[in-house]
């Protein structure tokens, strides 16, 4: 009996030791698994921090390296930032902290390279890091035709595209029209894009997403004009015929989004000469500005309204910037011309004929806070290349919210050939004349087009223009080997 009791005790001890060993092993396994899970979490966090660092670098590049921190060291060739905004970016419940480190080479060029490292300092003091390298290049401004924050109302007009490198906009006909213009709006209300009975779009339409499943069908039913490609024909899949109009639904997108940053007039650099008034009108009826050799940029900072009088031409023969605090108006037979090549001008005054030949490679940027108006037979750069004249509306979103307004108006036989970025302006094209047209591209808050047969032409060559304040990713890689990684130190 005693032997039997002793055997039970021994078996119980063996079972207890086995269970204890199993429990210890399980606890070790769970502990190891928790450590592995935590490390994986911190590795992902470090990677996210590295991406945040790269985005922070781009933000600083777009804001002169000063906001929200001026803690960059180095110069325009290489800049380095170690820390984080509100350093550290986070401290978790266990006390781990997160930072990033950034190095930017070719910092003030159009092709910078960013190396960003995300760093997580664990509670034990060990470092968990991830590094990425992002190669950047200046991106486009987003000119595709007509792009609006809000309303796009087309109650007339003939819309299409062309290439200014191949022909003048005034030479574009129904037979030579191309089909690459995009009419786009980021408005959440699908009904804010109105295509009236006289509006024929040789291109695409893009609007913002809608949660209403029937909105697309309702939108198509509301269209009274045409949306066509070069080969659109009745009976094709996706082509809806309404009377004589064809609506190619394959050319309508419902996923359009875009940011509309405010415009800031760039600072004057060392190669810019500043003037506070325009030169006088010469005997030929010209106001001539610009360095034809292209060495010097002329900046005209004009604090009052600017009006080009009837019969006067503002002739731009070199790189020029206009910073206009109020309105800019061209009326009557006034004109703004950006000269590319040679121009012979003659004018007879009494019995005397005056002649002069101008040569130049003009380019102009027009920054305007107030209204822009073209009326009568007035013209902005028509029929020359739109890329040579870039017009920027400087009214900000905050000023618009406070009640300020900016209007861009083209009326009568007025012509405009330019790339326009005015994200808080209302654009109205009243094509009442027989020869008025718009060529180029517009980004604005809203656009209304009135006038049967009024031509609105997107210049496809504008897609080649880059924006110094915009960047796109041209290359991306995670740096995983010691040979590839940059040693930030510290």
DSSP string, 379-396: EESTTS-GGGEEEEE---
- Please check whether residue 435 is in contact with residue 419, taking contact to mean a CB–CB distance below 8 angstroms: no
Closest to 116 (Cα-Cα) out of 50, 71, 198: 50
Give 68-107 as a DSSP string.
S----EE-SSEEEEEE-TTSSSEE-TT--EEEEEEEEEST
- Encoded tokens for 92: 């978790």
| Predicted local confidence at residue 1, as pLDDT | 52
The stretches of 148-214 forming alpha helices (DSSP H) are none
H helix count then E strand count, the chain: 3, 35
> What is the rounded CA–CA span in Å between residue 463 and residue 283?
39
Q: What DSSP state is assigned to residue 188?
A: S
Closest to 253 (Cα-Cα) out of 295, 204, 188: 204
Q: What DSSP state is assigned to residue 176?
A: T
Catalogue the E-assigned strands of 412-454.
415-430, 437-450
Please give the backbone phi and psi of residue 22, each rounded to the nearest 5 degrees, phi first: -65, -45
> What is the rounded CA–CA span in Å between residue 15 and residue 26?
16
What is the separation, in whole angstroms, between the first and last Cα of the chain? 73
| Predicted local confidence at residue 259, as pLDDT | 78
Closest to 54 (Cα-Cα) out of 120, 126, 103: 103
Closest to 398 (Cα-Cα) out of 261, 280, 298: 261
- Encoded tokens for 262: 């405010």
Query: What is the four-CA torsion angle of 253, 436, 364, 328, rounded to 10 degrees?
Result: -100
pTM to 2 decimals?
Answer: 0.73
| Predicted local confidence at residue 189, as pLDDT | 46
| Predicted local confidence at residue 398, as pLDDT | 94
- Encoded tokens for 240: 């809806």
- Encoded tokens for 384: 């020359």
> What is the rounded CA–CA span in Å between residue 440 and residue 420?
8
List the pLDDT tens digit at each of the 490 positions of the chain.
Answer: 555 555 666 666 666 666 666 655 556 555 565 565 677 888 888 899 999 899 888 888 877 777 666 788 888 889 888 877 777 777 777 788 888 999 999 988 888 999 999 999 887 778 889 999 999 887 666 678 999 988 888 877 789 999 998 988 888 888 899 999 999 987 644 444 555 556 788 999 988 876 666 777 777 877 878 899 999 999 899 898 887 788 899 998 888 887 788 888 888 877 788 999 999 999 999 999 999 998 999 999 999 999 998 889 999 999 999 999 999 999 888 999 999 889 898 988 888 889 999 998 899 999 999 999 988 788 888 778 899 999 999 999 999 999 999 999 988 778 889 999 999 999 998 865 566 789 999 999 999 888 766 789 999 998 877 666 677 788 889 998 888 899 987 6
């Amino acid at each position: 009996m005693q032997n039997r009791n002793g055997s039970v005790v021994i078996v119980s001890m063996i079972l207890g030791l086995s269970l204890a060993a199993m429990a210890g092993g399980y606890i070790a396994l769970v502990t190891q698994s928790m450590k592995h899970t935590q490390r994986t979490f911190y590795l992902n966090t470090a990677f996210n921090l590295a991406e945040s660092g790269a985005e922070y670098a781009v933000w600083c590049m777009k804001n002169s390296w000063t906001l929200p921190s001026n803690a960059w060291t180095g110069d325009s060739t290489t800049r380095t930032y170690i820390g984080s905004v509100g350093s550290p970016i986070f401290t978790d419940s266990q006390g781990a902290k997160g930072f990033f480190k950034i190095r930017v080479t070719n910092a003030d060029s159009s092709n910078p390279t960013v190396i960003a490292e995300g760093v997580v300092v664990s509670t034990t003091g060990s470092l968990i890091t991830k590094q990425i390298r992002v190669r950047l290049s200046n991106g486009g401004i987003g000119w595709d035709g007509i792009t609006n924050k809000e309303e796009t109302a087309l109650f007339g007009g003939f819309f299409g595209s062309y290439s200014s490198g191949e022909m003048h906009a005034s030479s574009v006909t129904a037979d030579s029209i191309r089909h690459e213009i995009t009419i786009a709006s980021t408005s959440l209300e699908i009904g804010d894009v109105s295509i009236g009975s006289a509006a024929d779009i040789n291109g695409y339409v893009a609007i913002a997403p809608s949660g209403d499943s029937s909105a697309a069908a309702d939108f198509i039913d509301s269209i009274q004009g045409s949306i066509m490609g070069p080969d659109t024909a009745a009976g094709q899949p996706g082509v809806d015929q309404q009377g004589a109009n064809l609506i190619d639904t394959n050319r309508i997108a419902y996923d359009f989004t875009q940011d509309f940053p405010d415009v800031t007039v760039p600072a004057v650099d060392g190669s810019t000469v500043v003037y506070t008034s325009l030169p006088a009108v010469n005997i030929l009826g010209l106001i001539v500005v610009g360095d034809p050799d292209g060495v010097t940029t002329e900046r005209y900072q004009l604090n009052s309204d600017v009006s080009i009088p009837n019969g006067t031409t503002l002739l731009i023969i070199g790189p020029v910037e206009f910073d206009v605090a109020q309105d800019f108006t061209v009326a009557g037979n006034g004109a703004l011309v950006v000269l590319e090549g040679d121009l012979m001008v003659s004018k007879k005054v009494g019995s005397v004929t005056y002649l002069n030949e101008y040569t130049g490679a003009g380019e102009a940027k027009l920054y305007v806070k107030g209204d822009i108006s073209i009326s009568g037979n007035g013209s902005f750069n028509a029929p020359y290349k739109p890329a040579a004249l870039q017009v920027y509306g400087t009214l900000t979103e905050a000023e618009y919210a406070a009640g300020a307004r900016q209007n861009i108006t083209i009326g009568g036989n007025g012509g405009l050939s330019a790339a326009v970025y005015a994200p808080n302006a209302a654009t109205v094209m009243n094509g009442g004349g027989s020869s008025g047209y718009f060529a180029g591209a517009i980004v604005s808050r809203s656009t209304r087009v009135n006038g049967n047969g009024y031509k609105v032409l997107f210049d496809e060559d504008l897609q080649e223009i880059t924006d110094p304040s915009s960047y796109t990713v041209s290359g991306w890689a995670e740096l995983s080997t010691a040979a590839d990684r940059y040693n930030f130190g510290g």
